[in-house]
Amino acid sequence: MNISENIKKIHEEVTNWRHELHANPELCYEENWTAEFITEKLKSFGIEVHNKIGKTGVIGVLKGSNSQEHKSNRSIGLRADMDALPIEEENDFDYKSKFLGKMHACGHDGHIAMLLGAAKILSKEKKFSGTVYFIFQPAEEGGGGGLKMINDGLFDNFPMESVWGLHNWPGLDVGEIAVHKGPVMASFDQFRVLINGVGGHAASPHHASDPIIATSGVIQSLQQIVSRKQNPLDPVVVSVTKIESGTAFNIIPQDANFIGTIRTLNPKTRSLVKEQFIDICNSTANAYGCTAKVEINEGYPVTINTSMESDIAIEVAKKVVKTKAVKDNLAPSMGAEDFAYMLEKKPGAYIWLGAGEGKSGCMLHNSKYDFNDEIIPLGISYWYNLVENQLSVES
């Protein structure tokens, strides 16, 4: 690992910020205290701050000291997500969440702290030419804060050439960084299906159209999408996660409903799967003498790193950790990430920063998860080297 002295020097200070953030978690679009915390820090570094972009989002604008001299209008955006999760924390350390039922279980506290650490060092040195935008985004955990910031003028009012994100990644060793060339996280859509039949006495099925049998047929048939209709080399997940129907042992109910999620790693596959899904629901329900009403709500798109920027991220990662610790051939995750919206508009890359096993060996969204403070210098160093790579005074 190659961490500069000035980054090592602020490790403890940034760790303290991380703990303060951890103790004060806020959910989607409620990140008011967090936004104030960020604003106050950025201002103390002499960075221009813009608030309420995407409700509780914050943007810091830092121009390099060489901007005038080199007349550079180059610019990049570095993004950290800010929100916590509705989980009751089970940890027992002194910076445990102060609020019942809310906790930073995805490490966004660490993402904020590391980006603030990078902002502190970059603002002191200003050894770059052009503009760095520090993007603190709300509501990553299902609220689509990335999209809300874009709709609120993120890229119109703060024109940047590219956007960059990172996520702490338990399961990857500390000192490892993964960069995907192409898709890194899946799209996710939510479906709700209502199967309507004809209710009746359980003793007289021939007088009814049983929506429960129809629902079981539909759910079985939906798995054909994954096993028979899609290219096995192009991953798709169709998961039914809840079924509801019926009231008593002797009544065939009138209807049944189920919900679940569709995930893909390819935008074209995503729309094709939706068509196949609707088609199978309708035709299978009809085969059982029932009808189907299908509702599909679009969630986050596929997170896709652009080719040139993934190569840049790999190059930068190799400056931070050992060459062989930079993994560019890992399989993507079928989890979703709303940085996808930003990557739909701008070139960029989203990397996984190895977080090791964790103190209690638990994964993201676990009630005992705690961001690994050991990786703080690595995250800051990645941001610092990325700015140097993209906005070098010589360019």
Nearer to Zn ion, 186 or 290 (CB): 186
Nearer to Zn ion, 131 or 333 (CB): 333
The interface region with Zn ion, picked from 29-37, 105-113, 224-232, 294-302 by CB under 5 A, is 105-113
Residue 106 touching Zn ion (CB under 5 A): yes
Cβ 390 to Zn ion shortest distance, Å = 24
DSSP string, 38-97: HHHHHHHTT-EEEEEETTTEEEEEEE-TTHHHHT---EEEEEEE---BS------STT--
Question: Which tokens in the block code for residue 253?
Answer: 């109910």
Nearer to Zn ion, 106 or 340 (CB): 106
Q: Which stretch binds Zn ion (CB under 5 A): 48-56, 72-80, 98-106, 376-384?
A: 98-106
How far is residue 284's CA from residue 187's CA, in Å, rounded to a whole number?
Answer: 26
3-state helix, strand, coil in the chain (%, to 5): 40, 25, 35
Which two three-digit tokens encode residue 65?
């000291």
Select the span of 101-109, 198-206, 212-220, 351-359 touching Zn ion (CB under 5 A): 101-109
The answer to the question of residue 84 lying near Zn ion (CB under 5 A) is no
| CB contact set of 199 (below 8 Å; sequence gap of 6+) | 208, 251, 252, 253, 254
Closest residue to Zn ion in the complex (CB): 106
Based on the shown chain and the rule CB under 5 A, indicate whether residue 62 belongs to the binding site for Zn ion: no
In the complex with Zn ion, the residue whose CB is nearer, 258 or 341, is 341
Q: Does 351 bind Zn ion (CB under 5 A)?
A: no
* Residues numbered 168-187 forming contacts with Zn ion, rule: CB under 5 A: none
| Cβ proximity to Zn ion, 130 vs 146, nearer residue | 146
Q: What is the 8-class DSSP label of residue 173?
A: P
Q: How many residues of this chain interact with Zn ion, rule: CB under 5 A?
A: 1
Could you say whether residue 252 binds Zn ion (CB under 5 A)?
A: no
Residue (182 or 335) nearer to Zn ion, CB: 335
Q: Is 115 helix (H, G, I), strand (E, B) or coil?
A: helix
Q: Are strands 177-178 and 326-327 parallel, antiparallel or unpaired?
A: parallel
Q: 320: which 2 tokens?
A: 């931070």
Tell me which residues touch Zn ion (CB under 5 A).
Answer: 106
